[in-house]
Amino acid sequence: MSHEARSLPGKPVAEAVLADVSERVAKLKAQGVTPSLATVLVGDDDASAGYIRIKQRQAAELGFDSPHRHLSGDITQEQLLDVVAELNADTSVHGVLIQYPIPAHLDYDAALMTLDPDKDVDGMHPLNMGRLAVGLPGPLPCTPAGIEALLAHYEIPVAGREVVILGRGATLGRPLAMLLAQKRPTANAAVTVVHTGVPDWERYTKRAEILIAAAGVPGIIQPEHVRPGATVVGAGVRYEGKRLLPDVAEECAAVAGAITPRVGGVGPTTVAMLFRNAISAAERAVAAR
Ligand SMILES: NC(=O)c1ccc[n+]([C@@H]2O[C@H](COP(=O)([O-])OP(=O)(O)OC[C@H]3O[C@@H](n4cnc5c(N)ncnc54)[C@H](OP(=O)(O)O)[C@@H]3O)[C@@H](O)[C@H]2O)c1
């Protein structure tokens, strides 16, 4: 008899998170404060401009101000840093998003380093990574936080279970490992991270109760790498033009107990977490007045 895993779409998770954000926006507005998420786009990359539009539309729907700075693709690093400094100093701006990637002659990490960590809605500033590592509150990296929220939303137990993450990249695998190992009911897992330094990584993925693909290598996870009945989260993707190629092969649904869909899995939760970080930043700014 053929088996089809339970599907774990990201949209209902995002809707639940955004409903909470929306209530928090209303509370701030009742205190006379409009939360504000500024976006910075450098150059004219179509995909990046599209992502910014999605975020601005979402911001408007939630009642955020979303001042936008569209900078020319040939600006200097100093000009970019000046814009970041301006947004840091602007007390009406609570969160800042610098859309990645930026043109190759500019240094994204150096720009991020100058951003006020409390306005870092991506949760990627090294200080926020440090806060995550030592368990201090702060903006969480959006995709890892979205994955924790997705597992919690579908009531998939994580605490005490064996989680294996394929990939140790700075945006995904590494912070996710830190997050899911934290002492918290929706985390508290036995986390193993595998990568190219572990050539027989399937030895680990095959015993995972929760397997998270975070490699960015299309089809790297095949059914034989999955423990029967496991929960499989596909976060790694590669784009070929507009085509999205997930890490997790479609056939894995016949082995897994639950699995994120190939499109609309982790992605929507990432955007929701951006706004959760932004409303938290606004609340902190109000509390500190
Ligand atoms: N869905 C979302 O919203 C979202 C958000 C952020 C990122 N992503 C996706 O997540 C993926 C990872 O992002 P990242 O920034 O963390 O990427 P990254 O820095 O390139 O990390 C990729 C990781 O995968 C490992 N890996 C690659 N090929 C492998 C192989 N053949 N065998 C075993 N391990 C392998 C690498 O191992 P080594 O360390 O040994 O090189 C590395 O640790 C990307 O596809 C990205 O598009 C998705």
- Of 48, 195, 211, the one to substitute when testing ligand 1's pocket (max ligand atoms within 8 A of C-beta) is 195
Question: Among the CATH numbers 1.20.120.1200, 3.40.50.720, 3.90.25.10, 3.10.129.10, which is that of 141-269?
Answer: 3.40.50.720
| Chain centroid to CA 71 | 24
Tell which residue, 83, 47, 235, has the closest CA to residue 147.
235
Quote the tokens at residue 271.
């955007």
Residue closest via CA to ligand 1's atom 25 equals 167
Q: Which residue has the tokens 């007390």?
A: 91
Quick one: pLDDT at residue 172?
97
Map 38-80 to HEC letters: EEEEECCCHHHHHHHHHHHHHHHHHCCECCEEEECCCCCHHHH
What pLDDT is recorded for position 154? 98
Q: What is the pLDDT along the chain (289 residues), one digit of tens a residue?
A: 467 899 999 999 999 999 999 999 999 999 999 999 999 999 998 889 999 999 999 999 999 999 999 999 999 999 999 999 999 999 999 999 999 999 999 999 999 999 999 999 999 999 999 999 999 999 999 999 999 999 999 999 999 999 999 999 999 999 999 999 999 999 999 999 999 999 999 999 999 999 999 999 999 999 999 999 999 999 999 988 889 999 999 999 999 999 999 999 999 999 999 999 999 999 999 999 8
Q: Residues spanned by CATH 3.40.50.720 within the chain?
A: 141-269
Smallest CA separation from ligand 1 atom 40, residue: 196
Domain range 32-116, CATH architecture = 3-Layer(aba) Sandwich (3.40)
- Tell which one of 55, 171, 245, 262 to mutate to probe ligand 1, the residue whose CB is within 8 A of the most ligand atoms: 171
* Cα-Cα-Cα-Cα dihedral sign, residues 9, 11, 13, 16: negative
For residues 70 and 150, what is the distance between their CA atoms, to the nearest angstrom?
A: 33
- Of all protein residues, the one whose alpha carbon is nearest to atom 3 of ligand 1 is 267
Q: Give the model's pLDDT for residue 49.
A: 92
Residue 67 near ligand 1, beta carbon < 6 Å: no
174: Cβ below 6 Å to ligand 1? no
Alpha carbon separation from 116 to 136, 175, 216 (Å, rounded): 17, 20, 30
- Mapping DSSP onto H, E and C, the string for 255-273 reads CCCEECCCCCCHHHHHHHH
The structure tokens listed for 125 are 């500033």
In angstroms, the CA 59 to CA 97 distance is 12
Task: State the span(s) of the chain assigned CATH 3.40.50.10860.
Answer: 32-116
User: CB of 234 closer than 6 A to ligand 1?
Assistant: no
pLDDT the model gives residue 2:
62
Residue nearest atom 46 in ligand 1 by C-alpha distance: 236
Model confidence, pTM: 0.96
CB 172 less than 6 A from any atom of ligand 1: yes
Please name the residue ranges forming H helices in the chain. 11-30, 46-62, 77-89, 108-114, 126-134, 142-153, 173-180, 202-205, 266-287
From the CB of 179, is ligand 1 less than 6 Å away?
no
Query: Is 266's C-beta closer than 6 angstroms to any atom of ligand 1?
Result: yes
Question: Is 9 in contact with 269 (CB distance < 8 Å)?
Answer: no
CB of 275 closer than 6 angstroms to any ligand 1 atom? no
pLDDT for the residue numbered 3: 78
Q: Rounded to whole angstroms, how far apart are CA atoms 84 and 78?
A: 10
* Residue-level pLDDT at 182: 97
Q: How high is the pLDDT of residue 115?
A: 98
Q: How many CA atoms lie within 13 A of 188 on its CB side?
A: 10
Residue list, annotated binding site: 167-169, 237
Ligand 1 pocket member 145 (CB < 6 A): no
Rounded Cα distance, 203 and 198, in Å: 9
- The CA 15 to ligand 1 mean position distance, Å, reads 27
The residue whose C-alpha atom lies closest to atom 19 belonging to ligand 1 is 169
